[in-house]
Amino acid sequence: MERPASSSASPSSGALLIEHDAYELPGVVRVTLNRPEAFNALSEQVIAELQAALSAIAQSDARVVVLAAQGRAYCAGHDLKELRAAPSLEFYQTLFARCSTLMMTIQRMPQPVIARVQGIATAAGCQLVAMCDLAVAADTARFATSGIHYGLFCATPAVPLSRNIPRKAAFEMLVTGDFIDAAKARELGLINHMTPLDALDADVAALAKRICDKPAAAVRMGKSLFYRQLETGIEAAYQMAGQTIACNAIDPAAQEGMQAFIEKRKPNWNA
């Protein structure tokens, strides 16, 4: 079921819809890909607009970002017509570098990003799901790194895919281009939750609320540490983690949380 845009939704152009306080939750920003007729393909325009939107949100006091899409497809990857229209190495290098920057923006922004997947996610669309911190998908959603069908090994999608699911499963998806359904995606770890399509928004909202109910400083520090420690050795990871949790522990919210535990009451994060 497609969720109609609320009165607070506003287009940055035709390519995106941006809704603040989405699901009636303060601090939740929903960014919706809005090219359903093109299966929400990542054209140069979409990449540029999404980069600008996420960069702005990263600097705001938003708590959670939901990355959604209109229509039957979540995202069909790069726009192959656009790729075919300008067949030069320089163009391809620039395009894929910009797309990689966009993907890293999702990981580096302090807010958790939830992919709301209502339809197929292929190639760079599957990459987009894998790069999001969390993903909730309709039980009818399907996923594939399908570039191999067109002579393109999905090299950049391979980066987050292989960091989300087991190596052999990732490589099979990459060299066959075969689809997996939402149940298999959940089993492998590509998505967190699978739900009926008509319950998708309710489940996304529930997950966003659970995050918003936690102290913002802890979530932001935690997200940063989570990815940094994954990409380093265990000794350095412990050093990073020790410094992060020490800084976290002196934060007023953490002090309140510990005191509330001692006093056997619920913490008051606004105290």
Tens of pLDDT, residue by residue over 80-127, are 888 888 888 999 999 999 999 999 999 999 999 999 999 999 999 999
Residue 5 scores a pLDDT above 80: no
Q: How far apart are CA 159 and CA 259, in angstroms?
A: 42
- Closest alpha carbon to 17 in 50, 61, 47, 43: 50
- The answer to whether 207 and 193 are in contact (CB under 8 A) is yes
Question: What is the predicted pLDDT for the residue at 228?
Answer: 94
Check residue 13 and give its pLDDT: 57
Domains of the chain: 9-212 (3.90.226.10), 216-262 (1.10.12.10)
Percent of the chain with pLDDT over 70: 95
**Using N-to-C axis directions, what is the helix angle for 89-108 and 44-58, rounded to 10°?**
30
The model's pLDDT over 27-56, given as tens digits with 9 standing for 90+, comes to 999 999 999 999 999 999 999 999 999 999
Q: Residue 1 contacts by C-beta under 8 Å, 6 or more apart in sequence?
A: 197, 198, 200, 201
DSSP bridge pairs for 180: 143
Instruction: Please count the residues of the chain.
Output: 271
pLDDT band at 271 (very low <50, low <70, confident <90, very high): low
Segment 190-212 shows an average pLDDT of 98
Higher pLDDT residue, 132 or 247?
132
